[in-house]
Amino acid sequence: MATLKIVKFGDPMLRKISKPVSEINDRTQTLIDDMIETMREQDGVGLAGVQVGVLRRIFVVEVEEGKVYTFINPEILATSGEQDDPEGCLSNPGEYGMVRRPMYVTAKATGRDGKEFTVEAEGLFARAILHEYDHLEGRIYTDLQYREATEKDFRKKNK
């Protein structure tokens, strides 16, 4: 496994729409492993392919230690409720903003095992899925930010 370089805010790559993953092969598995290692090393809860320079519809999320979800070619099926919380991004280290997102999300994707799955998520897990999904669509959290937040706000909420 290797730590990957994270694409930073201001890079036009982050505004591009990611393309579908056509095949889950050894290269895809290596990318997933490297993305997980990179996310953990940076103390993140999610990481999208585009954030490491791979313009493919893939992201990983780990909001509960040791429970990593890999989303390949994800779809958002439903959302409901709302939550207002501080949000950060590994592509914009040290910066945070208050973002309103749905409280609940139902998403469908293919896992790294090639099997399709559906997940219902709430709270931080829903926020992480939607944040990473936005990356695949060329959106970043600052597009939704309504005011700045501090690292203290972020750490307090996401303990």
Does the residue 98 lie in any domain? yes
Does the residue 4 lie in any domain? no
Does the residue 124 lie in any domain? yes
- From the list 102, 96, 90, 66, the residue with the least C-alpha distance to 156 is 96
Does the residue 6 lie in any domain? no
Enumerate the active-site residues: 132
Which CATH number is 109's domain given? 3.90.45.10
Task: With a cut of 60, say whether residue 70 has pLDDT above it.
Answer: yes
Contact 73, 80 (CB under 8 A): no
Q: Tokens standing for 115?
A: 């099997």
Does the residue 5 lie in any domain? no
**Which pTM does this prediction carry?**
0.94
The three-class DSSP label of residue 45 is coil
DSSP assigned state of 10? T
- Domain residues for the domain of 55 are 12-157
- Condensed to tens digits (0 to 9), the pLDDT of residues 101-147 reads 999 999 999 999 999 999 999 999 999 999 999 999 999 999 999 98
Number of structural domains the chain divides into: 1
Does the residue 19 lie in any domain? yes
Does the residue 81 lie in any domain? yes
Does the residue 112 lie in any domain? yes
- What value does the mean pLDDT of the chain take? 95
